[in-house]
Amino acid sequence: MNIVVIGIGKVGYVLLQQLSQEGHNIVAVDRNVSLLHVCQDKLDVAVVAGNGASVEVQREAGVKDADLVVAVTSSDEVNLLCCMVAHKLGCTNVVARVRNPEYDQQMHLLKSDLGLTFSVNPEKTAAYEIFHLLQFPSFLKREFFSGGKTEMAEVLIPEDSRLSGKRLDQLGDILKHRANICAVERKGKIVIPSGSFELAVGDKLTICAATREMPQLILQCGIKTRKINRVLIIGGSNIAAYLSKLLLEYSVSVAIIEESRPRCELLCELLPGASVICGNGTEQSLLLDEGIREADAVVTLTGIDEENFLVSMFANHVGVPKTITKINRLEYSDVFTGTGIDTIVSPKMLTSNQIVRHVRAMSASREGSVETLYRIVGGQAEALGFTVPEGAPFLNVPLAKLHLKPNILLASIVRGQRVIIPKGDDCMQVGDSVVVVAETQRAVANLRDIFADSEGFVK
């Protein structure tokens, strides 16, 4: 596909990395010439220097013949103007990053006038990600598929878990065919396991099950959880505002520490049910005075990664059961493994994944194209959602007879209201919603792509 990306900031660069790895023809547009040189040196992309909202610059970038234009500059207004210009030049698929909560509320009214295919809001997306994790604190990651009927959760095997030392084919008495262990991360390496794989303490498991059954299954596995009643948020960003509103609606006590007095005043207006403290959230004395030891969860949302890491480590040190840390520079996340920082959220990665999912669906225009896409186990694998199309050669064939590519797993099948954890004698039927787990490098875009023999499908 021919794709133009306007704005090479935090989100833009990650997006360029992901799209270039998947073999698309990409043109990067930005005013900053030095950033463009970095893109040329490290990524297989063409570059155009200039104002991305300019008609002439967009013409030079080939917007008229582009399959997709993505505007992810630091300015919402510039992004929207870029999309309007691209639409006028003839590009029918345009995507904008829109961060301002006021604009976000109006997007459903303005999409057609602006020519937008859809908009992405990193802060709002990150807030929902954190909220879902706080609902079940033992989960390190949590994603939903099939209209919320199926859930995929990442958990850590603790010392006293019944899973430790067990092979997957020995877990029938625990999982009772109601869940699938889709991936295992051990010491930074990912495995899409077979039945002979033996689990160990410290493994990170990605488990797929019916959403309504996941809490009970986690308890049966010996992984304890607790209800979150009080959350302490460090940093009064837009993420904090979105998240606090969600938590307050569920009667969770929320305290926000923010250093900027004008921002504190605004948060008090937006969130009358929250406690807003004006101060430096990295100071231990302030954290202790505000009851960090009594918090059920601490969420660090400042704009500085190092501050977020340090506060999360201190929270873990004083016994806070759950910490969630927002970071921008994912390349350092492995350094903090084992330091007590259990969950990391990256708004830029969440945004990039949303756009990549859209690109996959566009590039695989046949029925059976990817509908949902989530990066799991540190981005080394993907969980993808599909709807089974009519006329597919693998319909009604027992899974045991289908020839899947290596390191690909069919994690779940949803048929109507029924969630099926597939076995060898199960099959796919028209209209089924299925979840597939594959290594990220495979870049699966269509359900047909999971099979080793695209003609015969059957062993």
Q: What is the pLDDT of residues 288-315, one digit of tens each?
A: 999 999 999 999 999 999 999 999 999 9
Domains and CATH numbers, the chain: 2-120 (3.40.50.720), 127-220 (3.30.70.1450), 230-320 (3.40.50.720), 366-450 (3.30.70.1450)
Kindly indicate the confidence band of residue 454, based on its pLDDT and cuts at 50, 70 and 90. low
Query: What's the mean pLDDT in 313-331?
Result: 89
State how far Cα 51 lies from the chain centre: 30
Question: Quick one: tokens of 137?
Answer: 């604190």
Average pLDDT, the chain: 88
Nearest to 211 by CA among 139, 296, 163: 139
pLDDT at 232: 98
Helix (H, G, I), strand (E, B) or coil at 60: helix
Strand order in the sheet with 322-326: 275-278, 253-258, 230-234, 297-300, 322-326, 343-345
Kindly indicate the confidence band of residue 322, based on its pLDDT and cuts at 50, 70 and 90. very high
Burial class (CB in 10 A: 0-12, 13-18, 19+), 309: buried
Whether pLDDT at 349 is above 60: yes
pLDDT at 251: 95
Inter-axis angle of helices 122-135 and 238-249, nearest 10: 40
The Cα 388–Cα 370 span in angstroms is 10
pLDDT at 103: 79
pLDDT-wise least confident of 40-44, 102-106, 151-155, 281-285: 102-106
Query: What's the mean pLDDT in 331-346?
Result: 69
Question: Quick one: tokens of 10?
Answer: 């935090």
pLDDT at 364: 54
pLDDT at 337: 57
The Cα 61–Cα 3 span in angstroms is 10
For 177-208, the three-class secondary structure string (H helix, E strand, C coil) is CCEEEEEEEECCEEECCCCCCECCCCCEEEEE
- Phi, psi angles (nearest 5°) of residue 137: -60, -20
Q: What angle (nearest 5°) sits at the alpha carbon of residue 4, between those of residues 21 and 38?
A: 60
Q: Which of 14-23, 305-314, 350-359 has the highest mean pLDDT?
A: 305-314
Kindly indicate the confidence band of residue 119, based on its pLDDT and cuts at 50, 70 and 90. confident
Give 45-57 pLDDT, tens digit per residue: 999 999 999 999 9
Whether pLDDT at 174 is above 90: no
Query: What's the mean pLDDT in 142-166?
Result: 86
The Cα 52–Cα 31 span in angstroms is 8
The Cα 84–Cα 4 span in angstroms is 14
Give 210-267 pLDDT, tens digit per residue: 998 888 888 888 787 788 999 999 999 999 999 999 999 999 999 999 999 999 999 9
Stronger pLDDT, 6 or 356, i.e. the higher one: 6
pLDDT at 333: 61
H or E stretch including 361?
A: helix 347-363
Q: What predicted TM-score, i.e. pTM, was given to this entire model? A: 0.81
Question: Quick one: tokens of 416?
Answer: 């109507």
Burial class (CB in 10 A: 0-12, 13-18, 19+), 105: exposed
- Phi, psi angles (nearest 5°) of residue 456: -90, -35
Whether pLDDT at 456 is above 50: no
The Cα 203–Cα 113 span in angstroms is 49
Percent of the chain with pLDDT over 90: 49
Give 263-293 pLDDT, tens digit per residue: 999 999 999 999 999 999 999 999 999 999 9
Kindly indicate the confidence band of residue 455, based on its pLDDT and cuts at 50, 70 and 90. low
pLDDT at 162: 84
- Give the DSSP per-residue string, 249-271: HTT-EEEEEES-HHHHHHHHHH-
The Cα 356–Cα 370 span in angstroms is 10
Name 144's bridge partners. Answer: 151
Nearest to 302 by CA among 293, 294, 311, 315: 311
Q: What angle (nearest 5°) sits at the alpha carbon of residue 342, between those of residues 336 and 348?
A: 75
| Dihedral, CA of residue 443, residue 446, residue 452 and residue 454, to nearest 10 | -140
Q: By the 8 A CB rule, do 438 and 381 touch?
A: yes
Whether pLDDT at 336 is above 70: no
Question: Quick one: tokens of 344?
Answer: 């990391």
The Cα 111–Cα 132 span in angstroms is 28
Q: By the 8 A CB rule, do 328 and 346 touch?
A: yes
Give 76-114 pLDDT, tens digit per residue: 999 999 999 999 999 989 999 988 887 777 777 777 777
